[in-house]
Structure 1
Amino acid sequence: MTATIVVPTLGRPSLGRLLEALGPGLAKHRFELLIVDDRPGDRPPLALPPGIEATVLDGPARGPAAARNTGWRAARHEWIAFLDDDVLPDPDWADRLADDLAEAGEHVGGVQGVLRVPLPADRRPTDWERVTAGLADGAWITADMAYRRAALARCGGFDERLPRAFREDAELAFRVRREGWSLRRGRRRVTHPVRPEGRWVSVRTQRGNADDALLRHLYGPRWRQRLEIPPGRRHRHVAITAALVTAGAAALVAASGRRGWTAVAAGAGLAWAAGTAEFAAARIAPGPRDPSEVATMVATSAVIPPVATVHWLRGWLRRRAAEPLGSQPAGLPPAHRCPAGWAALSRPTASRSVPTRPFASRSAEGSR
Structure 2
Amino acid sequence: MTVNVSVIIPVKPGGRVAALEPLRRVSSGIIDFEVIVAEGTRPSRQRNAAAAAARGEILYFLDDDSLIVPDALQRIADHMKDPGVAAVGGPSVTPPDNSPMQRAIAWALATLFGGGAIRNRYRRSGVLRETDDRELILCNLAFRRQVFLDAGGLDERLYPNEENELIDRLLAGGYRLLHDPDLYVCRSQRPNF
Do both share a fold (TM > 0.5)? yes
Paired residue for 1:181? Answer: 175
Tell me which of 189, 192, 199 is aligned to 2:187: 192
Higher percent of residues as helix: 1
Q: 2-side partners of 1:87 and 1:161: how far apart?
A: 23
Tell me which of 147, 150, 156 is aligned to 2:143: 147
Tell me which of 2, 5, 13 is aligned to 2:4: 2
Q: 1:99: Cα distance to partner?
A: 2.4
**1:169 maps to 2:171:** no
Change (3 A) 1:9 1:88: same
Q: 2-side partners of 1:18 and 1:153: how far apart?
A: 24
Change (3 A) 1:35 1:121: closer
The answer to which of 133-142 and 121-130 deviates more is 121-130
Tell me if the contact between 1:21 and 1:88 (Cα under 8 Å) persists in the aligned partners.
Answer: yes
Q: Once superposed, which parts of structure 1, at least 4 consecutive aligned residues long, lie more than 3 Å away? A: 118-135
**1:73 maps to 2:52:** yes
Paired residue for 1:274? Answer: none
Tell me if the contact between 2:93 and 2:184 (Cα under 8 Å) persists in the aligned partners.
Answer: yes
Tell me which of 80, 88, 91 is aligned to 2:67: 88
Tell me if the contact between 2:68 and 2:186 (Cα under 8 Å) persists in the aligned partners.
Answer: yes
Q: 2-side partners of 1:22 and 1:5: how far apart?
A: 9
Q: 1:117: Cα distance to partner?
A: 2.2
Q: What is the identity, as a one-letter code, of the residue corresponding to 1:155?
A: A
Paired residue for 1:21? Answer: 22
Higher percent of residues as strand: 2
Q: Secondary structure at the match of 1:25?
A: coil
Tell me if the contact between 2:66 and 2:139 (Cα under 8 Å) persists in the aligned partners.
Answer: yes
Tell me if the contact between 1:5 and 1:82 (Cα under 8 Å) persists in the aligned partners.
Answer: yes
Q: TM-score, normalised by structure 1?
A: 0.41
Q: 1-side partners of 2:135 and 2:69: how far apart?
A: 20
Size of the aligned set, in residue pairs, is 169
Change (3 A) 1:136 1:147: same
Tell me if the contact between 2:19 and 2:63 (Cα under 8 Å) persists in the aligned partners.
Answer: no
Q: Rg larger in 1 or in 2?
A: 1
Paired residue for 1:210? Answer: none
Matches within 5 A, 1:336-355: none
Relative contact order higher in (CA < 8 Å, ≥ 6 apart)? 2
Change (3 A) 1:161 1:125: same
Change (3 A) 1:177 1:117: same
Q: What is the identity, as a one-letter code, of the residue corresponding to 1:159?
A: D
Change (3 A) 1:143 1:156: same
Percent identity over the alignment is: 28
- What runs of 5+ residues in structure 1 fail to find an aligned partner? 39-60, 200-368
Q: 2-side partners of 1:24 and 1:124: how far apart?
A: 26
